[in-house]
């Protein structure tokens, strides 16, 4: 240990460096993962005595960044630089070599621009202790700021359509979507909407099941169904997974076999019945993401959740902002894909729906990375009756891949026996002509 005496007059005892230009390196042990770097021997001895931490001062050629010197401090988890104002450029040089993740510095403003020796030999009346200064150390580079060089891999992934751009899983049953969406990507929020009663839950059930049943992809899925009961939802999934109708005519043995097949999938469901708080839902989702390594969260639907938001938020827009912001945060922070089913606004729950039709308006379209719309067209057969309903999938926003589909070219063909969809890509010439006709 380095002893420090005669502090009053500022003199330094005669000590030797380790021969590597790092004075005080003998205060470091194998148990230390934090080190403080200062510029003078006086600073090193004083800070070590006051904090108990290993403190090393640069002397001689140490400031020339020799490899043997840098190697001695490269193994620390946290390196704190406590240099005077006129040496801040050296701090930046060291940090560039050691990396921003473990490099911290103590702002000279804490000591009013004085050196450590100047400040503590004649401390002001309300002075900071050494430990207080160390507790206020800052990252030289903010964790939310990246240099252009650090973004190299992300840019290359984007250029070559790899990594996040392609997604960690693609659809099989709904394979047409892959050419537009690339796949399911982590950290994204998808909003899915469509007219009331158009089958949004049934479609999203298949949409999620298609990914979840690919066991090699490990798309662990959490379903938060607030409008449709869990038993009813699983009944839909049973029919979709087994491609057959499941009703009372199915034998118990057959049903057990079909359910065993479903039970093999990494599917999880929340159990919120009756009244509940929005905060409880968020906590449950975050907990299950951590425990079960969830990668895809499906929430059906926004309107039911909005009613569970704290009562003190009486402003409808404030409620919407809070809900969307929370789901945006979960998707980003937890690196999961979150699919949110949203009803259109009641006054716009008919005709051709657009981004402006979403409940939540601008906030919904801004926060979402992707917006898919289920469109319903009612067509009269020759003779005027009966009406035929045709369903189309539209992609109104696609932040990563950029491919949109705002025409009625992705038609959904629905099988009432199995509750499944298939997507047929086609050109609806009648719709195109109608859309292209000039307004009177």
The rounded distance, in Å, linking the Cα atoms of 156 and 329 is 26
Task: Report pLDDT for 204.
Answer: 97
Task: Report pLDDT for 440.
Answer: 36
Task: Report pLDDT for 432.
Answer: 41
Strands ordered across the beta sheet of 138-139 = 22-23, 55-58, 34-38, 78-81, 103-105, 138-139
User: For residue 331, how far is the Cα from the chain centroid?
Assistant: 4
Beta pairing partners, 56: 37
Task: Please give the structure tokens belonging to residue 395.
Answer: 């992609």
Which has the closest alpha carbon to 55: 74, 30, 80?
Answer: 80
**Would you say the CATH fold of 158-436 matches that of 22-145?**
no
Q: 101, 150 in Cβ contact below 8 A?
A: no
Q: Domain ranges in the chain?
A: 22-145, 158-436
CA distances from 424 to 45, 174, 213, 404, 411 (A): 76, 9, 22, 16, 5
DSSP output for 229-258? -HHHHHHHHHHHHHTS--STTS-HHHHHHH
Task: Report pLDDT for 142.
Answer: 64
Q: Exposed e or buried b for every residue in 278-299, given b needs 16+ CB within 10 A?
A: beebbebbbebbeeeebbbbbb
The rounded distance, in Å, linking the Cα atoms of 255 and 248 is 10
Q: Residue 112, CB half-sphere, CA atoms under 13 Å: how many? A: 11
Task: Report pLDDT for 349.
Answer: 55
Strands ordered across the beta sheet of 189-193 = 267-269, 221-225, 296-300, 337-342, 189-193, 370-380, 387-398, 410-415, 420-425
Q: 372, 190 in Cβ contact below 8 A?
A: yes
Task: Please give the structure tokens belonging to residue 91.
Answer: 């701090």
Task: Report pLDDT for 7.
Answer: 43
Task: Report pLDDT for 10.
Answer: 44
The rounded distance, in Å, linking the Cα atoms of 232 and 242 is 16
Task: Report pLDDT for 189.
Answer: 96
The CATH classification number of 158-436 equals: 3.40.50.300
User: For residue 360, how far is the Cα from the chain centroid?
Assistant: 21
Task: Please give the structure tokens belonging to residue 77.
Answer: 């988890």
Mean pLDDT per 10-residue interval, the chain, length 440 residues: 43 44 80 89 94 83 59 82 85 78 88 91 89 88 70 78 72 91 92 91 97 94 94 97 95 96 96 84 95 96 77 69 90 96 73 79 80 84 68 88 77 93 70 40
3-state secondary structure 305-366: HHCCCCCCCCCHHHHHHHHHHHHHHHHHHHCCEEEEEECECHHHCCCCCCHHHECCHHHHHH
The rounded distance, in Å, linking the Cα atoms of 261 and 422 is 22
Task: Report pLDDT for 4.
Answer: 45
The CATH classification number of 22-145 equals: 3.40.1360.10
Q: pTM for the complete prediction?
A: 0.64
Task: Please give the structure tokens belonging to residue 241.
Answer: 């997974």
DSSP state of 112: T
Task: Report pLDDT for 359.
Answer: 74
């Amino acid at each position: 240990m380095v002893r420090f005496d005669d502090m009053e007059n500022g003199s330094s005892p005669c000590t030797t460096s380790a021969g590597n230009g790092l004075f005080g390196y003998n205060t470091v042990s194998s148990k230390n993962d934090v080190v403080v770097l200062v510029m003078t021997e006086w600073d090193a001895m004083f800070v070590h005595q006051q904090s108990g931490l290993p403190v090393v001062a640069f002397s001689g050629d140490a400031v020339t960044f020799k490899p043997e010197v840098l190697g001695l401090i490269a193994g620390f988890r946290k390196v704190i630089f406590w240099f005077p104002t006129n040496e801040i450029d050296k701090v930046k040089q060291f940090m560039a070599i050691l990396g921003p993740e473990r490099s911290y510095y103590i702002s000279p403003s804490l000591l009013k621009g004085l050196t450590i020796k100047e400040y503590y030999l004649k401390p002001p009346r309300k002075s900071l202790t050494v430990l207080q200064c160390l507790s206020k150390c800052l990252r030289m580079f903010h964790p939310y700021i990246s240099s252009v060089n650090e973004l190299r891999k992300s840019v290359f992934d984007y250029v070559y359509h790899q990594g996040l751009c392609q997604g960690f899983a693609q659809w099989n049953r709904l394979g047409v979507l892959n050419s537009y969406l690339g796949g399911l990507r982590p950290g994204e929020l998808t909003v899915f909407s469509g007219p009331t009663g158009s089958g949004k839950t049934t479609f999203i059930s298949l949409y999620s099941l298609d990914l979840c049943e690919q066991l090699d992809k490990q798309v662990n899925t959490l379903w938060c169904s607030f409008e449709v009961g869990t038993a009813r939802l699983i009944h839909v999934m049973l029919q979709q997974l087994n491609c057959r109708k499941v009703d009372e005519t199915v034998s118990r043995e057959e049903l057990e076999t079909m359910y065993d097949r479903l039970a093999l999938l990494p599917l999880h469901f929340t159990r919120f019945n009756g009244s509940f708080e929005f905060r409880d839902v968020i906590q449950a989702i975050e907990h299950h993401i951590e425990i079960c390594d969830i990668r895809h969260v499906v929430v059906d639907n926004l309107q039911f959740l909005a009613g569970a938001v704290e009562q003190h938020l009486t402003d409808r827009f404030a409620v919407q902002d809070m809900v969307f912001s929370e789901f945006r945060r979960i998707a980003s922070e937890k690196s999961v894909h979150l699919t949110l089913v949203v009803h259109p606004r009641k006054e716009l729950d008919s005709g051709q729906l657009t981004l402006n039709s979403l409940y939540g308006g601008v906030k919904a379209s801004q926060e979402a990375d992707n917006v898919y719309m289920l469109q319903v067209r009612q067509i009269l057969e020759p003779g005027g009756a009966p009406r035929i309903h045709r369903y189309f999938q539209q992609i109104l926003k696609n932040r990563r891949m950029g491919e949109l589909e705002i025409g009625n070219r992705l038609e959904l063909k629905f099988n009432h026996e199995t509750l499944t969809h298939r997507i047929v890509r086609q050109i609806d010439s009648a719709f195109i002509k109608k859309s292209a006709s000039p307004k009177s």
